[in-house]
Structure 1
């Protein structure tokens, strides 16, 4: 995997604040149950 050899260790994960913000954003999107949809 090229990214593992090229990217610095600090760039491989996000900070605590960004993780919290992403989690809050996903909670809003995933709050309601959605039916499966198939697009062709």
Structure 2
């Protein structure tokens, strides 16, 4: 387990994770974070 949204994680890796999730439509994915607040 890791934080996909760390600044050190390359965008290409995140895109690949999302691509795999989209292709495995028979699964239900949860993207969870331990962050208490968002900087957005």
TM-score by length of 2: 0.38
By percentage of residues, which structure has more helix? 1
TM-score by length of 1: 0.38
Structure with bigger gyration radius: 1
Which has the higher relative contact order, 1 or 2, with Cα contacts under 8 A spaced 6 or more apart? 2
